[in-house]
């Protein structure tokens, strides 16, 4: 029975991927201004193994942090490596059975070597009983203890379990936290995640694409994207990794330069939507102002001041409507046959017809045309009767040349 339980536990944790310090440093350098005077919480990060904890501990003073909190769940697969703690009556062998909390408010040159580095953090953790304490529960990010710590924090930074990504993001949104987290690109297409992107509550960070992760010993070998280094440590890599955040960064506001020109033969229209299909982000036409279906990789280049994500809806008369955050002004509107109708004229007509409540009335008389508003997915998009890949529905904002 014990072996069966262990096997089940391992199977449930097959999404344990431990991030390299270099990848963390390369991403976090773009957000330094967001951390001064802040409390940072790493709630999926055992200090024995987490490079997120290591990064913030080493850079505690450079970032001007107010406090660093890290929690781990009980039963971490990595036994102590660089940071070894001692609770007196317990031994290293007891460690995997415990859930811990680390709280750091100051990092100084404790060991007297003339600099503040990881050695000072190690010394602090080994010798200050108030810094590292046992949690009462399991250390799961959904536990009451960890939620209370999240409420205290200003920014959450970690690599959460991929299998619990939806639930993890929902918790961040519930408690209105700033965050920077790692996830799989496929999460973009989740019905729980994409609306947050569409409504500018979540966006991609700097790095997307290939990333290598350290994995536990019980992970089985694979034919591709798997290897062991000279020490025997197992590694996995994935080519579809993204950073997800709601922290502003420069890349998000860079204009995408468009070179391609519209050709109706090269850009076919969907059978069931008034929109053209674009197969590559580099092929978005510079001279087409209508609605386009673009690959999900577009989000790596998405500038909300240059483009808007729109939503197909059907009116009571069965005609297509396009639902959007009009021109970034915060007004929700429905525009009928946008590519051939002047928006301001259409809005004026609806205002005269319905009065000041025209938006609510038009929305009431319509319904979503796709299962995930703003996205064409699976069988929803047909071109000459054939199913297309998942596409994000966009159009250029008029004030961008």
Average pLDDT over residues 84-100: 53
Using alpha carbons only, what angle is made at residue 92 by residues 43 and 3, rounded to the nearest 5 degrees?
A: 80
Q: What is the pTM of this model?
A: 0.82
Average pLDDT over residues 369-374: 83
For the residues of 290-323, what is the DSSP string, one character each?
A: S-EEE-GGGGGG--TTTEEE-EEEEETTS-EEEE
- Give the model confidence (pLDDT) of 220-233 as tens digits: 888 899 999 999 99
Please answer whether residues 210 and 247 qualify as being in contact, where contact means their C-beta atoms are separated by less than 8 angstroms: no
- Scanning 234-298, the segments in alpha helix (DSSP H) are none
Of 335, 321, 13, residue with least CA distance to 163:
13
Q: What share of the chain is helix, strand, coil (3-state, %, to 5)?
A: 30, 25, 45
Return the pLDDT at 358.
60
How many beta carbons lie within 10 A of that of residue 133, not counting itself?
Answer: 12
For residue 195, what is the enclosing H or E element?
helix 194-198
Return the pLDDT at 145.
94
* 166 torsion bin: left (phi>0), alpha (psi -120 to 50), beta (else): alpha
Q: Look at 105-114, 227-236, 275-284, 355-364 and tell me which has the smallest mean pLDDT.
A: 355-364
Give me the half-sphere count of Cα atoms (radius 13 Å) on the Cβ side of residue 308: 22
Return the pLDDT at 159.
93
Please give the C-alpha separations between residue 127 and each of 83, 120, 131, 174, in angstroms, as whole numbers: 12, 11, 9, 37
Quickly state the pLDDT bin for 266 (edges 50, 70, 90).
Answer: very high
Average pLDDT over residues 372-391: 88
- The bridge status of strand 203-215 relative to strand 39-42 is unpaired
- Give the model confidence (pLDDT) of 298-346 as tens digits: 999 999 999 999 887 665 555 555 544 443 333 344 444 433 344 556 6
- Average per-residue pLDDT for the chain: 81
Return the pLDDT at 357.
65
- C-alpha span between 213 and 21 (Å, rounded): 10
- C-alpha span between 47 and 125 (Å, rounded): 10
- C-alpha span between 121 and 53 (Å, rounded): 10
Please answer whether residues 31 and 156 qualify as being in contact, where contact means their C-beta atoms are separated by less than 8 angstroms: no
For the residues of 220-243, what is the DSSP string, one character each?
A: PP-SSSEEE-TT--EEEEEEEEEE
Return the pLDDT at 335.
45
φ/ψ (deg, to 5) at 170:
-60, -40
Average pLDDT over residues 390-395: 93
């Amino acid at each position: 029975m014990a072996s069966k339980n262990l096997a089940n536990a391992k199977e449930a944790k097959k999404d344990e991927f431990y991030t390299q310090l270099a990848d963390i440093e390369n991403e976090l350098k773009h957000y330094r201004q967001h951390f001064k005077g802040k409390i940072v919480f790493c709630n999926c990060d055992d200090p024995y193994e987490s490079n997120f904890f290591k990064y913030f501990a080493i850079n505690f003073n450079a970032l001007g942090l107010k406090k660093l909190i890290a929690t781990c769940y009980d039963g971490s697969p990595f036994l102590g490596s660089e940071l070894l703690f001692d609770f007196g009556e317990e031994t290293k062998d007891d460690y995997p059975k415990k859930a811990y909390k680390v709280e750091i408010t100051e990092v100084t040159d404790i060991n007297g070597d003339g600099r503040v580095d990881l050695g000072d953090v190690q010394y602090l953790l080994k010798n200050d009983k108030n810094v590292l304490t046992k949690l009462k529960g399991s250390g799961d990010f959904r536990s009451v203890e960890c939620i209370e710590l999240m409420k205290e924090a200003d920014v959450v930074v970690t690599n959460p379990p991929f299998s619990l990504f939806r639930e993890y993001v929902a918790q961040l949104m519930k408690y209105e936290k700033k965050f920077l987290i790692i996830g799989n690109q496929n999460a973009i297409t989740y019905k729980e995640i994409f609306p947050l992107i569409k409504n500018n509550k979540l966006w991609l960070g700097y790095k997307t694409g290939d990333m290598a992760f350290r994995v536990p010993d019980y992970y089985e070998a694979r034919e591709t994207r798997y290897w062991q280094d000279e020490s025997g440590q197992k590694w996995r890599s994935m080519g579809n990794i993204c950073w997800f955040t709601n922290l502003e960064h420069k890349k998000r506001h860079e204009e995408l330069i468009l070179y391609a020109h519209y050709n109706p033969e090269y850009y076919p229209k969907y059978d069931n939507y008034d929109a053209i299909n674009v197969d590559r982000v580099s092929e978005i036409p510079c001279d087409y102002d209508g609605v386009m279906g673009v690959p999900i990789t577009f989000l790596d280049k998405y500038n909300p001041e240059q483009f808007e994500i729109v939503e197909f809806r059907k009116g009571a008369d069965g005609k297509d409507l396009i639902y959007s955050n009009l021109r970034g002004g915060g007004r929700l509107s429905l525009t009928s046959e946008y590519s051939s109708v002047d928006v301001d004229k259409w809005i004026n007509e609806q205002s005269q017809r319905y009065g000041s409540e025209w938006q609510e009335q038009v929305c009431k008389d319509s319904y979503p045309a796709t299962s995930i508003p703003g996205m064409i997915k699976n069988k929803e998009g047909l071109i000459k009767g054939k199913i297309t890949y998942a596409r994000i529905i966009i159009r250029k904002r008029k004030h961008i040349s």
